[in-house]
C-alpha cells in the first residue's frame, strides 16, 4: 500500500468514526457538538467519496486487465477490454489528481460563516456609490447560493452610497467561497455628475473574516472592553429612535472599535458588536500567522493584504479584471448582479495549483 493509499484509508476510517459519534445520544442532545461534527464530516466527505470511487475504479480496472490479458477467449471481447482498460486508467489518473488536491493542507476556517465589511475608499461620492454596488453584489451572490445574510451595520451617505457596511453571511463553506474577495476593489467609469465625460477611478475596500465562535476568543468584558451607548443616528445625523440603543465597543488591548446601531434593542446591538469584534480578533491572529508563513506570503492569491489592489471594474470596456491571476471577464453587469462564480472558481483553482506546486517543490527538496 502506497503512502497515499494509507493516508486515504486513515481518513476514511476517521470519517466512519465521526459518523458513529454523531449517532450517540449525548451528541444528539448537544447542538454545538452536532455542528462541530457536521463541519468535520463535510470537510472529509469529498475526499472519502473520491477515495471510495478510486477503490471501485481500481477493482474494475483489475478485472478489465485480466480479461484483456487472457490467452483464450473471444478476440472481440479482449478488444472491448482494452478499451475499458484505457478508460479506467484515465479515470484512475483523474481521481488521483483530484485526491492530491483534496489532501492539500486545508484552511481550518473554510467551513465557517463570514463577517464581510465593505468600506468606501478614495473617490468621494463615487466611491460611496461603488461601495453600495459592491454590497449589493455580495448580497446577490449570497442569494444565488442560498446563503443566509444579515446586514449588521450600515452607514449610508444619503446619496444612495455607503460609507461602511458590515454583513454576516451564514452557510457551510461561506469563508472558502468568499475569502479571496478581501482587498482593494477599483472602479473606472464616468460618474453621473461628470459633465465632461472624463473617466474617474474610485476604490472601495472589502474585508472578509471567518466568524469566531464565542468560546474561541477569550474576552474579559470588565478588563478588555470599554462599552458606550448612545442614541442611534441615520444619514445626516437625524434621530432614528428615542432610545439609547447604539453600542460602541472598544477593545482596549488592540484598539479595535466596533459600533452597531441597527437594532432598537441595546442588547441586540451589543451582541452583534461582540460578534464582529470576535471575528476581527480572530482575523488579527490569522493575519499574524500569514505574515509568519513564507509559503503563504508567496501565494499569488492568499496574501490577504488589506492594501492589495485585487480587482478592477471598468465600465466603459465592460471588463472585470482580477489582477492576482490575470483573469478578465466581459460580463460586468452580470458580475455586479452577483455572478461571481467564474472569478471565485478561478481564484480557488489558482490557489490550489500554487499550493500544490509549493508542496511538490518541498517534497523534491526533501
pLDDT in tens, 198-236: 899 999 999 999 998 776 787 888 899 999 988 766 544
| pTM metric for this prediction | 0.73
**Which of the two residues, 292 and 45, has the higher pLDDT score?**
45
**Percent of residues, the chain, with pLDDT higher than 90:** 56
The reported pLDDT for the residue numbered 240 is 46
**Percent of residues, the chain, with pLDDT higher than 70:** 88
- Report the DSSP pairing between strands 183-189 and 309-314: parallel
Tell me how far apart the alpha carbons of residues 324 and 347 are, in angstroms, rounded to a whole number.
8
Nearest-10 Cα torsion for 280, 284, 289, 293: 100
Q: What is the CATH number of the domain that holds 8?
A: 1.20.58
List pLDDT tens digits, range 238-288: 444 455 688 999 999 999 999 998 777 888 899 999 999 999 998 888 888
Residues 198 and 346 in one domain: yes
Among 36-50, 233-247, 325-339, name the most confident range: 325-339
Give me the domain span that covers residue 84. Answer: 3-102
Tell me how far apart the alpha carbons of residues 311 and 332 are, in angstroms, rounded to a whole number.
12
Residues 200 and 347 in one domain: yes
Residue where a domain stops, chosen among 72, 102, 132: 102
Residues 87 and 149 in one domain: no
Burial, 146: exposed, middle or buried (Cβ in 10 Å; 0-12, 13-18, 19+)? exposed
Residues 31 and 71 in one domain: yes
Count of Cβ atoms closer than 10 Å to residue 244 Cβ: 12
Residues 77 and 158 in one domain: no
DSSP letter string, 126-139 = HHHHHHHHHHHHHH
Please determine, for residue 11, whether its predicted confidence score (pLDDT) is greater than 90. yes
Tell me if 29 is assigned to some domain: yes
Tell me if 361 is assigned to some domain: yes
The cell numbers describing 291, all together, are 505574515
Chain-centre distance of CA 197, in angstroms?
A: 37
Tell me how far apart the alpha carbons of residues 28 and 38 are, in angstroms, rounded to a whole number.
11
Residues 162 and 88 in one domain: no
C-alpha angle with apex 62: 60 to 63, nearest 5 degrees?
65
The reported pLDDT for the residue numbered 248 is 92
Residue where a domain stops, chosen among 102, 121, 136: 102
Residues 120 and 205 in one domain: yes
Q: What is the CATH number of the domain that holds 123?
A: 3.30.70.1660
Cβ-contact 315, 189 below 8 angstroms: yes
Residues 158 and 200 in one domain: yes
Cα 42 to Cα 29, 35, 39, 47, 135: the distances in Å are 20, 10, 5, 10, 29
Residue where a domain stops, chosen among 102, 124, 151: 102
The reported pLDDT for the residue numbered 296 is 46
The reported pLDDT for the residue numbered 32 is 85
Q: Average of pLDDT values for 151-156?
A: 92
Amino acid at each position: 500500500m502506497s503512502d497515499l493509499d494509507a493516508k486515504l484509508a486513515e481518513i476514511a476510517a476517521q470519517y466512519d468514526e465521526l459518523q458513529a459519534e454523531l449517532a450517540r445520544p449525548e451528541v444528539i442532545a448537544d447542538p454545538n457538538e452536532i455542528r462541530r461534527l457536521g463541519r468535520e464530516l463535510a470537510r472529509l466527505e469529498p475526499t472519502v467519496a473520491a477515495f471510495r470511487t478510486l477503490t471501485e475504479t481500481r477493482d474494475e480496472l483489475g478485472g478489465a486487465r485480466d480479461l484483456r490479458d487472457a490467452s483464450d477467449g473471444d478476440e472481440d471481447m479482449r478488444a472491448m477490454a482494452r478499451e475499458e482498460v484505457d478508460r479506467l486508467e484515465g479515470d484512475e489518473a483523474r481521481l488521483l489528481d483530484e485526491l492530491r488536491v483534496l489532501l492539500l493542507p486545508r484552511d481550518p476556517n473554510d467551513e465557517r460563516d463570514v463577517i464581510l465589511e465593505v468600506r468606501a475608499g478614495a473617490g468621494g461620492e463615487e466611491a460611496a456609490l461603488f461601495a453600495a454596488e459592491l454590497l449589493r453584489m455580495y448580497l446577490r451572490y449570497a442569494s444565488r447560493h442560498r446563503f443566509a445574510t444579515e446586514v449588521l451595520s450600515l452607514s449610508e451617505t444619503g446619496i444612495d452610497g455607503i460609507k461602511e457596511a458590515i454583513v454576516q453571511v451564514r452557510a457551510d463553506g461561506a469563508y472558502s467561497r468568499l475569502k479571496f474577495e478581501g482587498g482593494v476593489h477599483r472602479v473606472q467609469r464616468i460618474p453621473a455628475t461628470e459633465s465632461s465625460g472624463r473617466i474617474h477611478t474610485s476604490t472601495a475596500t472589502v474585508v472578509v473574516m471567518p466568524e469566531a465562535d464565542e468560546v474561541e476568543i477569550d474576552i474579559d468584558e470588565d478588563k478588555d472592553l470599554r462599552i458606550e451607548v448612545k442614541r442611534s443616528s441615520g444619514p445626516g445625523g437625524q434621530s432614528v429612535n428615542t432610545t439609547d440603543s447604539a453600542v460602541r465597543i472598544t477593545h482596549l488591548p488592540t484598539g479595535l472599535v466596533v459600533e452597531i446601531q441597527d437594532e432598537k434593542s441595546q442588547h441586540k446591538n451589543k451582541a452583534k458588536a461582540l460578534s464582529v469584534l470576535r471575528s476581527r480578533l480572530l482575523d488579527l491572529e490569522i493575519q499574524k500567522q500569514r505574515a509568519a508563513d513564507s509559503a503563504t506570503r508567496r501565494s499569488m492569491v492568499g496574501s490577504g493584504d488589506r492594501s492589495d489592489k485585487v480587482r478592477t471594474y471598468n465600465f466603459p470596456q465592460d471588463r472585470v479584471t482580477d489582477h492576482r491571476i490575470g483573469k478578465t471577464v466581459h460580463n460586468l453587469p452580470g458580475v455586479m448582479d452577483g455572478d461571481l462564480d467564474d472569478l471565485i472558481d478561478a481564484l480557488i483553482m489558482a490557489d490550489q495549483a500554487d499550493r500544490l506546486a509549493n508542496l511538490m517543490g518541498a517534497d523534491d527538496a526533501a
